[in-house]
Amino acid sequence: MLREIILSRSEELCFRLVSMQNYSNCKRTARRLSIQNNVHAPLESITNSQTRSILLLGVNEVPTSFCTTCFANFKLMKTMDFEGAPIEDIPKEVGNLFHLRYLSLRATRVKTLPKSIGKLHNLETLDLKRSLVSELPKEISRLHKLRYLAAYIENYNFESNVDFRRGVKIRSGIGCLQSLQKLFRVEANNVALIEELGSLGQLRKLQISRLKRENGTALCTALEKMSHLQSLRINAISEEEVLELQSMSSPLPFLQSLGLSGRLEKLLEWIPKLKNIVRIGLSWSRLMDDPLKALQALPNLMHLRLYEGYQGEQLHIEGGGFQKLKYLVLRNSRGLSRLIIDEGALPLLETLQIGQSPQLKEVPSGIHHLKSLKNLEFDEMPTEFVLNLQPNEGRDFWKVEHVSSVRIWYRIQGENYKIYKLGDEELLELLRR
């Protein structure tokens, strides 16, 4: 019955499913086309249709004639989703689709966009994630209704969980897109572009890559004008480049997620003032002063991740600190020799990950106080540390015996890791070699 209802409603909406099996039965009035499997037949039979949207699902080959037909004849098209489709270019006829609101080229092999993209005055979403588009034409500045612009080339480091994805270059005109609410990822390749970002007062999400130290002050000035910003991620041009972001005088009032990748000479003074912040990630900050002292009072922080975020010897979480934190990751703190957790700290913590800290020889003091802890993970830790965790023979086992899942990670080859549980004979044999 439910199937019959769906079919009936699809008929009313002129929805058509096109596949090799039922292509010949496709009527001319197909307002919404969902094309599945391999479609090699020409589309002349629906050339004059009132088609508004096309979705390609599981199509291994897209004939050139198909794209030509779509862009040249479907003038009423509002949605085109080519995600994962094996296409390498978009013809200039795309400019004919005046009513187009949604265009996705995600995970395609498309490298460039035609200048005619500037004719799509009703376009609201342009999704170029994981495509090969590295630069946007200047005509993009004409898309005054654009709300969502996402573009990057995939290059993610899963070992460090750090985002290396290349952004898209925009020469000029980004300041004209004043309806933008989400913009990622744009390369901060010149001061003029960064200054233009200050015109985007409606932004909710912003990701910037390849920021240079000398452009940090200009970025702070632009950020202070983004009163609605909820998510911000900034990547320096390299691991060693300093993020010069101290000059922001007032915190972003609605910011919930913050990610910074690059050197920080000291913890930015405005970060502890982010009362609505839920998620913070610091990569390569290499701070010498304990950042947890300043962050543990944040009232809504639930997720904190430091990757090479701290180079000192001791971290201390005081009683009453991090009252809402559920997820804490401390990785590549190579100088860390002591982690202290006072009773009353981290009452809601569920996951704790500690990795690649060769100076940390004993299980952190205070883990036994964390009654909500469910997942405890140690990555590439010293032999002495892991042996002290083992049941029956390890002196620190009592500190973690209340945790339901304790896992040990060791690299076995290249980027491949193997996960062990406490007491695993294979793990013990590995450690005693």
* 13-52: pLDDT as tens digits: 666 655 544 444 555 556 777 777 665 555 545 555 577 7
Q: What is the pTM of this model?
A: 0.87
Tell me what pLDDT residue 156 has: 46
pLDDT over threshold 60, residue 415 = yes
Tell me what pLDDT residue 183 has: 95
Alpha-carbon distance of 165 to 155, in angstroms, equals: 5
Question: Using an 8 Å Cβ cutoff, are 278 and 301 in contact?
Answer: yes
pLDDT single digits (tens) 231-284 = 999 999 999 999 999 988 878 999 999 999 999 999 999 999 999 999 999 999
Tell me what pLDDT residue 155 has: 56
Long-range contacts of 241-245 (CB under 8 A, 24+ apart): 241/211, 241/212, 241/213, 242/213, 242/216, 243/211, 243/213, 243/216, 244/213, 244/214, 244/216, 244/217, 245/216, 245/219, 245/220
pLDDT over threshold 60, residue 343 = yes
Mean pLDDT of 161-189: 83
Q: What is the dihedral of CA 140, 143, 144, 148, to 10 degrees?
A: -90
Residue 213's contacts (CB-CB under 8 Å, 6 or more residues apart) are 236, 241, 242, 243, 244
Tell me what pLDDT residue 18 has: 55
Tell me what pLDDT residue 73 has: 77
